[in-house]
Amino acid sequence: MSNVSNEALWGKLSEMDEKLDMISKKEVSIEIPQLPQAIPTVSKEEIKAMVDDGIKILGKHTDSHFAANLKNIERLNNNVLKTKETVESIRIPENNITLEAIQSILSKDKTMAFGLGRIRKTTFIIGVLIAFLFMMITFSMKQHADYAILQNRYSWQNVTIYKLQIENDSLKANRTTINKTKKK
């Protein structure tokens, strides 16, 4: 397809366009042979029966949806009524607890005597937790420093062992060369 140029394609398309124009200008008369066929006729009663069947099917479909919706609405209504009964069954206690009594319980003194003054309990607890966190961080830093010192010592030991091995190997090499020269 890549070998065909655009000009050739446009040329073929224009030829086809001219042929189509010529065909459309000609009036073509096609005679359709008339076959004597009886067109079936449908009576009004048959049409009415078909329409009634369609209406019945549509009615059944609509009724089933209506029944499902009605069932869902009844469930929702029952749930709402049960919730309403539950809320209504919640009674005010009979021992005369009032709103003021509840507020007085909630507004109890939340401070404690500490040293010369008073401190809120939550402030004291937060202070203790901060002190504990500070000690943990300090011990963690100390442990990290000790670990770094041990790592440093270990690396120096490795370097020293490596140097001693090299010196030992060189002494062995010197000894073997001295032994060879003495034998000759």
Q: What is the pLDDT of residue 23?
A: 78
What is the DSSP code (8-state) at residue 116? T
Split at pLDDT 50, 70, 90, the class of 19 is: confident
Give the burial string for 74-85 (b: 16+ CB within 10 Å, else e).
eeeeeeeeeeee
From the centroid of its chain, how far is CA 19?
62
pLDDT tens readout for residues 49-82:
888 888 888 888 888 888 888 999 999 999 999 9
Instruction: Give kind and range of the element (H or E) at residue 17.
Output: helix 6-25
Split at pLDDT 50, 70, 90, the class of 163 is: very high
Split at pLDDT 50, 70, 90, the class of 102 is: confident
Looking at per-residue confidence, does 78 or 30 come out higher? 78
Looking at per-residue confidence, does 111 or 72 come out higher? 72
Cβ(96)–Cβ(87) under 8 Å? Answer: no
Q: What is the pLDDT of residue 133?
A: 95
Q: Which two tokens stand for residue 138?
A: 């300090």
Per-residue pLDDT for 138 more than 80?
A: yes
Q: What is the pLDDT of residue 28?
A: 60
**For residues 33, 36, 37 and 41, what is the CA-based torsion angle, rounded to 10 degrees?**
120
